[in-house]
Amino acid sequence: MIIIFISILTLVIAISIVAVLAASETSLFSLSSLQVKAFKEDQDKRKQLVGDLLSRPRDLLVTILMVNIAMNILVQNIIASIFGNYEAWWLNVLIPLLLTLLFGEVIPKSIALSNNIKIAVVIAPLIMSIQWLLGPIRTVLNSITQPISRFFFFFLKKEPEISIEELKHALKTSEKYEILGRGETALIYGYLELEEFLVKEVMTPRTSMLTYSIDEPIEDLKNIILNQKVSRLPIYDQEKDEIVGILKVESLFDLNEKLTNGKQILPFLRKPFFVPESLPAKVLFNQFNFTKRTLAIVVDEYGAVSGIVTKDDLVQKLIKEDQKEEDQLYTKASHDVIIAAASMELSDFNNYFHVNLQSESNMATIGGWLIEQLGEIPKNGTKVQKEGFFFHVLSASARKIKTLYIRKLSEVKK
């Protein structure tokens, strides 16, 4: 009788351990990579412990599997010792199957899935202790299994730590709890969705490109500078496929009267930046920011020029300006942040933010007011604080500002 009691007690303990391990596995591995990163930086030591465990997921999984398999074997042996004298052999199969399936898998995992954070935080110290105790055995197992795993992983594409869908979910949550404004969320969404577009989908095609040949009369170049709103111009030699450089228009202002032929501009050309049609728009956007360039020549698979794309093209795609500038002069990001066209009326700006910015030169737009304050036309990426506002120039040409990110920093005099 005592032996049966001890066997049943041991069986209950073994099933409990299996249940704890099942709950641990589900709660820990159901955490997203964003949650794990947040736990690593949290002040709570137990959450940091969760982050440490999941920073080595292979060790964690091997530890849980080792103990789990050992406990399942123990359950099987105990059931066999209790019912071994019965002729109904199926009891030795059915009873441990039901016990481990219901109490060791389904029930604890269902509970852990809906309470993953709470259970992970509570159970992390215990799992860390078990992982430390089984360290030597785990090292031996890893040395055997890792070469086999590497062989199969060679054929599998590694997934990114944080997927696009996870980021989008985080954005929705941030907007829901008003951590980010609606416009800010839309702006980040736009950046993520650039991944879905190729350069050839946002470029200006070859037939619409504004270019100049060094063999053409210099007057043609002067007419382009005077009549076309461009800050940079592709220059080619004989054929458009032979782009020799990019001309920054403002570099010729002082030499306008001295130029007599197109070849005189060659020393002022910047080396062209070529990109393939198949390049994702988001990759090009990052390259623009890294290299401080704003224009790229797009080439097809044969190296022929198929168009041009500018940073401004990508910004327009990013903020989804699918309406005319007159119809949508700003996008509200939050109560104190807007993405605005520089042509937004200064009076409308004052009304929106309940301020009273004044222009000594009677500038009518917020872009004109900012140029007045700076004393020059700012370049792309310029960041400045004026009159209690933070201004970030998202896009600009040599002649004007186009798009601004504006954030109210503090109370401004009305």
Same domain, yes or no, for 22 and 123? Answer: yes
Environment class of 381 (CB within 10 Å of its CB; exposed 0-12, middle 13-18, buried 19+): middle
* pTM score, whole prediction: 0.45
The CATH number of the domain where 398 resides is what? 3.30.465.10
Same domain, yes or no, for 141 and 91? Answer: yes
> Is 322 among the domain residues?
no
List the domain range (segments joined by +) for residue 129: 2-153
Same domain, yes or no, for 60 and 78? Answer: yes
pLDDT digits (tens, 9 = 90+) for 200-237: 888 888 888 888 888 888 888 888 877 777 778 899 98
Same domain, yes or no, for 189 and 233? Answer: no
> Is 46 among the domain residues?
yes
Same domain, yes or no, for 235 and 303? Answer: yes
The CATH number of the domain where 277 resides is what? 3.10.580.10
405: nearest Cα among 413, 393, 396: 393
> Is 158 among the domain residues?
no
Query: What's the total number of domains in the chain?
Result: 4
Same domain, yes or no, for 10 and 102? Answer: yes
pLDDT at 136: 87
| pLDDT (mean) for 273-302 | 89
Same domain, yes or no, for 13 and 83? Answer: yes
Same domain, yes or no, for 97 and 218? Answer: no
Same domain, yes or no, for 144 and 20? Answer: yes
pLDDT digits (tens, 9 = 90+) for 120-166: 889 889 989 988 998 888 888 878 877 777 766 665 555 555 666 66
Judged by DSSP in three states, 384 sits in: strand
pLDDT at 325: 41
Same domain, yes or no, for 177 and 247? Answer: no
* From 104-113, 179-188, 289-298, the region with the lowest mean pLDDT: 179-188
For CA atoms 191, 195, 196, 199, the dihedral sign is: positive
Same domain, yes or no, for 298 and 340? Answer: no
Most confident of 71-80, 192-201, 342-351: 342-351
Same domain, yes or no, for 122 and 223? Answer: no
> Is 324 among the domain residues?
no
Environment class of 26 (CB within 10 Å of its CB; exposed 0-12, middle 13-18, buried 19+): buried
Q: Which two tokens stand for residue 97?
A: 């199957």
In 119-218 the beta strands, taken as DSSP E runs, fall at 204-205, 212-213
